[in-house]
Amino acid sequence: MATQKAEAPKGKLGVLVVGLGAVTSTFMTGVLMARKGLAKPVGSMTQYDKIRVGEGEDKKYLHYKDIVPLADLNDIVFGAWDVYPANAFESAVNAEVLKAKDILPVQKELEAIKPMKAAFDHNYAKRLDGDNVKDCKDRWDMTEQIREDIRNFKKETGVDRVVVLWAASTEVYVPVDEEVHGSLAALEAAMKADDKERIAPSMCYAYAALSEGCPFIMGAPNTTVDIPAMWELAEKTHMPIAGKDFKTGQTLVKSGFAPIIGTRCLGLSGWFSTNILGNRDGLVLDEPANFRTKEVSKLSTLESILVPEEQPDLYGHGNDEDTQYYHKVRINYYPPRNDNKEGWDNIDIFGWMGYPMQIKINFLCRDSILAAPLCLDLVLLSDLAMRAGRYGTQRFLSFFLKSPMHDYTKDEVPVNHLFQQYVMLKNAIREMGGYPADETID
C-alpha cells in the first residue's frame, strides 16, 4: 500500500461509540467543552504534541494539525449504542467522573445524544443487564441491524464520514479459531449459522463498520479485529483498523518503564501488577471469563520489550521454570474507588554481580480522564489514515493501545516499546503530511 498525502476533510465527522458509559461520556463532554473554550483537551497528542519535520535548515517543530489535515473538533457529531437507555448527560452524571461545573454548560448537547439499542449477548458480559437491546434472529441479522443504524445515523445527521469506536465492556475471552476466524468467507458463514460461541457481538460491530466504509477502533481487549478474517475485510473495504485495548494506566507505565530496565542492561526477576477499579469496567472484569480477555492483553506488553532469548543473563531467570522472569497481572473490583483506579507495580530487578533491588510504582489514576484523549486521538488519526488511503492494520496507532496488532500467522512480534511506538507514530504523521519518514527504529 503506497503512502500518500492525506486529502483534506470535507463536511462533518460522525463518531459512533459502542458503549455510552464513563469513558465515552467523559470523551464527549470534554470535546464539547473544548469547543466552547471552557476546557482544555490535555493528554491528547493530536491537540498538543509537536513533532519535527524536515532536517538541517528546513527543520521545524509543528503541531499535528499543521502537518496533516486533521478533522476539527467543531466538525465532530456524536452518536452511540448502549444497553442502558440513559442519554449522554445522564451517563456523565451517573459516572461521577466529572464535576457538575464541567458538565452543565453542555447539558443540552449531551441530552441530545441518545443511545440506539445495542447489539448485545448477555453471555458475553454477565454482569450487565440493560434492556436497551436489539432483538436479533442470529449474528448475521445482528450485523445487518448495526449496518442499518450506521446508514440511518449518516442520513439523519448529514455527516460526510463516520468512525466507529468500541468503548464498551470487555467481553468473555474468545480463543482464535482458524476454522471460523481464518478467512472472511468462514466468518460470514459462522455469522449466518449463528455461531454464538465463536462470533462475539463486537465482531458484528466491526464487520458492520468496515462494510459501511467506517474505520473501526477496538478500545477493549476483545478478540475482534485481531483475526485474519477481519484483516481480509479491512483490505477488501480499504478501511483502517488498529490494535486493541486503550493503553491508559498501568500498561502505559509498563511500556514506558520497561525500556529503562532494558536500556540500562539491568536484570529482571519478576514484575507483579495489581489494580483496583470500581466502575462498570471493574464490575464486568470481576467475572473470571472476562478478566481472562484483559489478562492476555496486559501480559503481552512486557514479553516483547524484555526478551529472554535476546538477553538470557538478564531476563532468562525467575520463577517461571527458570526460563524467564515471573510476570503476574491482577485486577480487583472495588466499588468505593469508582473510576479512580489504582495500579501497584512491584518490580524485582538485579544488578552488578546479581545483587537484588526493587522498584515500586503506585499510579493513582483516573480511568476515563486518561482514556478520553486516547478516544479523540484514535478517532482523528483513523479518519486521517482513511483519507490518506491507508487501510488494513495501522501499526502506527500502537502507541495508544495495549495490544498492538500484528500478523501472528507469520510470527510477527508486536512493538510494545513506547518510544519505538512513538517513532512509528511520528513517521506516519510525516508521511501523511507529504514529508519523508526520516526516523529509524533501532
DSSP states of 262-295: HHTT-EEEEEEEEEEE-SHHHHHHTSHHHHHHHH
Q: Which helix (H) or strand (E) holds 60?
A: strand 60-63
Write out the three cell numbers for 312: 538470557
DSSP states of 99-134: -GGGTGGGHHHHHT--PEEB---GGG-TT---S-B-
In the three-class reduction of DSSP (H, G, I as helix; E, B as strand; rest coil), residue 406 is classed as coil
**pLDDT of 1 over the 50 cut:** no
pLDDT value for 289: 67
**What's this model's pTM, rounded to 2 decimal places?**
0.92
Q: What is the 3-state secondary structure (H, E, C) of 143-175?
A: HHHHHHHHHHHHHHHCCCEEEEEECCCCCCCCC
What is the C-alpha to C-alpha distance for residues 318 and 405, in angstroms, rounded to an integer?
28
Class of the 13-247+368-432 domain? alpha beta
CB neighbour class for 264 (10 Å; exposed up to 12, middle 13-18, buried from 19): exposed
Give the bridge partners for 20, in sequence order. Answer: none
Could you tell me the pLDDT band of residue 60, with boundaries at 50, 70 and 90?
Answer: very high
Distances (CA, A) of 244 to 220, 223, 374, 381, 412: 6, 9, 12, 15, 16
Name the DSSP letter for residue 71. P
Q: Shortest CA distance to 171 belongs to which of 21, 297, 341, 292? A: 292
Q: Which residue has the cell 467523559?
A: 26
Per-chain mean pLDDT for the chain: 93
CATH classification number, 250-364, choose in 3.30.70.120, 3.30.360.10, 2.40.37.10, 3.40.50.1370: 3.30.360.10
Write out the three cell numbers for 48: 498538543
Give the bridge partners for 346, in sequence order. Answer: 272, 360
Name the DSSP letter for residue 223. S
Could you tell me the pLDDT band of residue 251, with boundaries at 50, 70 and 90?
Answer: confident
13-247+368-432 and 250-364 share one CATH topology? no
What is the C-alpha to C-alpha distance for residues 315 and 322, in angstroms, rounded to an integer?
10
Could you tell me the pLDDT band of residue 293, with boundaries at 50, 70 and 90?
Answer: low
**pLDDT of 210 over the 80 cut:** yes
Strands of 202-265, DSSP E: 216-218, 240-246
CB neighbour class for 139 (10 Å; exposed up to 12, middle 13-18, buried from 19): buried
Could you tell me the pLDDT band of residue 333, with boundaries at 50, 70 and 90?
Answer: confident
Contact 416, 428 (CB under 8 A): no
User: b/e for 93-113, b at 16 or more Cβ within 10 A?
Assistant: bebebbeeebbebbbebbeeb
DSSP states of 291-331: HHHHHHHHHHHHHTTS-TTT-HHHHS-SSBTTTB-EEEEEE
The residue extents of the domains of the chain are: 13-247+368-432, 250-364
Give the distance from CA 332 to its chain's centroid.
21
Q: Shortest CA distance to 159 belongs to which of 379, 388, 413, 429? A: 379
**pLDDT of 212 over the 50 cut:** yes
Q: What is the pLDDT of residues 169-196, one digit of tens each?
A: 889 999 999 999 999 999 999 999 999 9
Could you tell me the pLDDT band of residue 111, with boundaries at 50, 70 and 90?
Answer: very high
Share of the chain above pLDDT 90, in %: 78
